[in-house]
Amino acid sequence: MHNKSTSKLTFDGDSILVTGASTGIGRATAGLLAARGARVFLVARRREVVETAAREIREAGGIAECLAADISDRDQLDAAIDAAEAAFGPLYGLFANAGSGGRFAAAGDYDDAEFDAVLRTNLTSPFWAVKRVLPGMMARGRGTLLFTGSLASARGMANNAAYVASKHGLLGLARAIAIEAAPANVRSNCLIPGFIETPMMAAIDPAALAGLARSIPQKRMGSAEEAGEVAAFLLSEAASHVTGQSWSVDGGVLGTLAVG
C-alpha cells in the first residue's frame, strides 16, 4: 500500500483488519503490522484472548483495537468491519486468516452440516468480507487482500473433504478478485502455510508431529513468525507487483519431491 515512508515494508498508519488474530499466524502478523506502522484491528472468537493480544500490541508501542466475533456469522462479521472502520477509518488491508479444520471422516460419512459450517467459515465468510471492503478499496485506488490458504489449497488430502474443498476455493477466490481488482491498484493473494507451530498443531500427538517434521525438506516445523513475515510482506507496498499468487511458507513441501 502506498505510504510516505522510505521503507516499503512499513505502513504509515494504514488500517488493516486481521481475522483469526488472537493466536498463531494471525497474532504474529498483527504484531508485525503494528510494529511497522499499521493501525491493526484484531478479530477473533475468544474475547479474553483477542483483548490480550491487542493489549500486548499497544504495550509494545503499536496501535491496535479489537472485537470478539465469530466471522462465520455474517452479522457479527459486518459488526467487526463496522467497528474497524469506526476506529481507524477506511480499510486499506484485509487479512482473512480465520479458519476451521472441521473433522476427519471419509467423504461418504462426512456430516452435511459440518461440511456447510467449514465452507462458511473458510470460504463464504472471506467472500462476505470482500464484498464489504473491496468496493471502497477500488474507489480509493489502493488496497490489499490476503487470504490464509493451506497445503490443502494445492493438494488433496484423505478424510478431509470440507477443509480441502474450502481451501481450494479460497485460492480461487483470491485469484478471481485479483484480476477484477488489479486495474484499480488493489492486490489479492493467498498465503499457503505448511506445517506451522500454532495452537491448532499443538493439539496433535507429539510423535505424529515429529513424523511431520521429518517429512519437511527443511526437517523442521515453521514458526508463526516466519509465516507472519511473509504475510506482512504481501500486505505491504514491497509486494506492489504481486497479485493473484499463492505464496507458500512450507519449508519446501510443495516445491519438492522426496523419492525413496
Locate all alpha helices (DSSP H) within the chain, ordered by sequence.
Answer: 24-35, 47-59, 74-88, 112-119, 125-140, 161-181, 199-202, 206-215, 224-235
Q: Is 114 helix (H, G, I), strand (E, B) or coil?
A: helix
Which residues are known catalytic residues? 163
d(CA 249, CA 134): 26
CA-to-CA separations, 95 to 29, 41, 84, 132, 228, in angstroms, rounded: 9, 10, 13, 14, 11
Grid cell for residue 132: 464489504
Please give the grid coordinates belonging to residue 39.
Answer: 493501525
Residue type, 190: C
232 vs 225: CA distance, rounded Å: 10
- C-alpha grid cell for residue 224? 508463526
Taking CA atoms, 62 is separated from 34, 156, 157, 159, 208, in Å, by 5, 40, 39, 42, 37
**Residue 46 cell numbers, joined:** 475468544
Within 10 angstroms of residue 250's Cβ, the number of other Cβ atoms is 21
* Beta carbons within 8 Å of 168's beta carbon, 6+ residues apart: 152, 153
φ/ψ region of 68 (left if φ > 0, alpha if ψ in -120 to 50, else beta) reads: beta
